[in-house]
Amino acid sequence: MRKFLAIALLLLAANTANSANKYTAGFEYASINQQPTANADRVEVIEFFWYGCPHCFHFEPTLNRWLADKPENVDFIQIPAPLNKSWEIHTKVFYALELMGMQKKLHEKLFEAIHMKKMRLFDEKSITDFLVKQGVDREKFQKSLRSFAVSGKLNKARKMMKDYQVKGVPQLAINGKYITSGRMAGGYQQMIDVVNFLVAKESKK
């Protein structure tokens, strides 16, 4: 009886250890050089995405479910990744709409227009025409798009691509220390599972 009890306790200890170390750096996520975060008392999660990316579009429902019930100590930030010159227009559009207070309202509509309605929104004219039909003032939008503030945010986003080693999207960064992606984690929900694991790890500190 004592032998069986000892075996059971050993199995329980092993399972607990495996649960605590469920994911491994270099496999489901990677460590990066520490990047600055806005608030050392909270855990920062960044999503790098592109409106033209089908994977980003399909990841949205999973991400939104997590956002609706994310840990209280997590700050979530979206960065529209300018991974190449052709992607920069979407970066500028994101920040121009943010400057106008309309980004959250139109975020899903831009995704849906490109991926569900198959609209070719990849240049300033087509995007502007689409946004005007959504109630955006053309002149104010174009002024915002060309503003110094949007130019500055574009430059910052470019730098973050290098600092966070972004090679594809969607990619998630956790507290300036770790990155994960669908390829690394094994899928959309797995990305969220890895984020929760790393958020818990950072929260203990």
Given a cut of 90, whether residue 15 has pLDDT beyond it is: no
**pLDDT, averaged across the chain:** 92
11 in any annotated domain:
no
Q: Is residue 57 part of a domain?
A: yes
Kindly report, residue by residue over 89-136, the tens digit of the pLDDT: 999 999 999 999 999 999 999 999 999 999 999 999 999 999 999 999
pTM of the entire predicted model: 0.88
Domain count, the chain: 1
CATH number at residue 129: 3.40.30.10
- Residue ranges of E strands in 21-98: 30-31, 43-49, 74-80
In the numeric block, the tokens 């008392």 are attached to 41
Cα-Cα-Cα-Cα dihedral sign, residues 158, 164, 170, 174: negative
Residue 68 lies in a domain: yes
Residue 4 inside a domain? The answer is no
Q: How confident is the model at residue 5 (pLDDT cuts 50, 70, 90)?
A: very low
Q: What confidence score (pLDDT) does residue 20 get?
A: 52
Residue 78 lies in domain = 24-204
| Confidence tier at 22 by pLDDT (50, 70, 90) | confident
* Kind of pairing between the strands at 74-80 and 178-181: unpaired
Residue 79, judged by CB atoms within 10 A of its CB (0-12, 13-18, 19+), counts as: buried
